[in-house]
Amino acid sequence: MSLGLPGHLARDSLSRALAFAGHCAAFACLAIMIVVSIIVATVGDQPAGWTGAALATVMALAFGAVALFPSVTLTVLALVVGTGVTIAFTMLVMEPGGFESTNNALLALPRIALLLVGGAGSGSLIAIVWASLGYALGEAAAFLGVALVGGAYAPSTAAAAAFGILLVVRIFDGVSRRSDPRQETGLHRASQQTRELAIRHDYELRATARLHDTALSHLIAIAAAGSGTVDDRLRAGIRQDLGLIVGRDWAIDHAGQATASDRGGLRRAAAVDESAPNGAAGKGRFGRRGVVGGATRSRTVPVPAEPRPDGATMLAQAFAAAANAGLDVRVTGDPDILHVLGPGRAEALDAAVAQCLINVARHAGVDEAELALGLGGGEVTIAVMDSGVGFDEREVPDDRIGLRTSIRARIDQQDGTVRLWSTKGIGTTIVLTVPEGGA
């Protein structure tokens, strides 16, 4: 949305608006002429009123043409017609025994209309030229008309006042644009700049987030591994992601999704990553490498993080993620059942659930989700359900690490299973199951 009119358009726009205002006033005058004429013809029982109404109608038609097609020819034509009508109307009104002079309210009407003809071209000067012409013609017509029937001519005070108002408005308009506060305020420029800043910021953030998602875990792994031979799995993981990063223009990836709300989502979701250094980005990668390399379950997660003390509030990460993402979570079942799991497994499950909730907040288009927890058959099962937009898992791009790695890999690593049902338009249900015990 842009604010106001830019300086270069203000002149023409204001000019057109003022001309339109003039036309409205002119039509009001002509309408009153018609009304008065009809009243005089009917109530006053003077048939000449019909002639007056007809004359005013003709003039209104000519003016309508100018209002619609402001060309020089039509303007001149309207002036000629208007002058003729004014002469005839003056002859009608200035019957002997009527008004003392041509300076009266009735004869002011066609003359005011005539000076408000507007006309071709835009800008104050040309408008003043047309108005002056109309004013002069109106007075001349009154003079001529009254000379033909005999009576006293006097310039119309009302028409002069109307001409004065028009001059004041047009001159003011012309002068006030000189100082050009529009240029000075720079609103239009500011609007462009703001958009550009927002887009740029959005891109930077996306680029950073993508780099963060793709590279951070490898960097942490390298740092944690310290000096020594390069682990094959690390190598394979980097190779896989490097292909992803190098092979594409990661800055414009997902550009189509760039919206303000999306940015907000990113802000909140990534804040979760930050607040849980043990969470999504870091561990997700290791999870995947575990899958790629296979048989790595004995390997401990080398991310240096504050260990979650045993017996801490269960599903803390998940609830924090939901709160951060503004998601309402309804829970059925007791989160304490997670005590049957080892701390590492409980945490992996927690992180996976957190990622599920983040996905709901990001993609499902709803602001509530349901969490069902259960313990039975030697397994802990958590279902995350939403009635959001749903998706087709095959359509989720490979590089979207949320579902594939942050969720699936984490649970796989704990010998668990992830089952997912999603229907577009109906919602998504993810069931995470891990065996009791574990590290």
Residues 192-211 that bind other proteins (CB under 8 A): 192-201, 203-205, 207-209, 211
Query: Is 61 a residue that touches other proteins (CB under 8 A)?
Result: no
Q: Give the nearer residue to other proteins in terms of CB position, either 273 or 386.
A: 273
Instruction: Give me the least distance between CB of 311 and other proteins, in Å please.
Output: 29
Query: 3-class SS at 383?
Result: strand
What is d(CA 341, CA 192) in angstroms, rounded to the nearest whole number? 55
Binding other proteins (rule: CB under 8 A), the pick from 77, 136, 144, 187 is 187
Q: Which of 47, 247, 260, 392 binds other proteins (CB under 8 A)?
A: 260
Which of 232/334 has CB closer to other proteins?
232
DSSP 306: P
68 in contact with other proteins (CB under 8 A): no
386 membership: H or E segment, kind and range: strand 379-386
CB atoms within 10 A of CB 78: 27
Q: Are strands 417-423 and 368-376 parallel, antiparallel or unpaired?
A: unpaired
The interface region with other proteins, picked from 32-40, 71-79, 308-316, 424-432 by CB under 8 A, is 32-40
Stretch that binds other proteins, among 122-130, 146-154, 261-269, 286-294 (CB under 8 A): 261-269
The CA distance from 147 to 262, in Å, is 78
> What part of residues 220-239 is at the interface with other proteins (CB under 8 A)?
220, 222-223, 225-230, 234-235, 238-239
Q: How many residues bind other proteins (CB under 8 A)?
A: 110
**Using CB under 8 A, which residues numbered 3 to 22 contact other proteins?**
3-6, 9-10, 13-14, 16-18, 20-22
Residues 269 and 361: beta-carbon distance below 8 Å: yes
Q: Is 258 in the site for other proteins (CB under 8 A)?
A: yes
In whole angstroms, the minimum distance from the beta carbon of 90 to other proteins comes to: 15
Is residue 72 near other proteins by the rule CB under 8 A?
no
Q: How far is CA 329 from CA 56, 165, 354, 370, 411, in A?
A: 73, 67, 11, 6, 21
- Which helix (DSSP H) or strand (DSSP E) does residue 435 occupy? strand 427-435
47 binds other proteins (CB under 8 A): no
362 with 349: CB under 8 angstroms?
no
**In the complex with other proteins, which residue's Cβ is closer, 248 or 419?**
248
- Count other Cβ atoms within 10 Å, centred on residue 42: 11
* 362 is a site residue for other proteins (CB under 8 A): no
Cβ-proximal residues to 31 (8 Å cutoff; 6+ apart), any chain: 60
Q: Which stretch binds other proteins (CB under 8 A): 247-255, 359-367, 380-388, 413-421?
A: 247-255
Smallest gap from Cβ 275 to other proteins, in A, equals 11
What's the rounded Cα separation, in Å, for the pair 373 and 433?
A: 10
Question: Containing H/E element for 38?
Answer: helix 7-42
Q: Which is nearer to other proteins, 113 or 315 (CB)?
A: 113
Report the site for other proteins in 159-178 (rule: CB under 8 A): 161-162, 165, 168-169, 172, 176-177
Minimum distance from residue 50 beta carbon to other proteins (Å) = 14
- The binder of other proteins chosen from 11, 182, 308, 400 (CB under 8 A): 182
Q: How far is the CB of 137 from other proteins (least distance, A)?
A: 19
> Among 146, 148, 153, 155, which residue's Cα sits nearest to residue 115?
155
Residue located via tokens 């591994």: 225
Footprint on residues 366-395 left by other proteins (CB under 8 A):
none
Rounded to a whole number of angstroms, the minimum distance from the CB of residue 400 to other proteins is 18
DSSP 335-382: GGGGGGB-HHHHHHHHHHHHHHHHHIIIII--SEEEEEEEEETTEEEE
Q: Which CB, 59 or 380, lies closer to other proteins?
A: 59
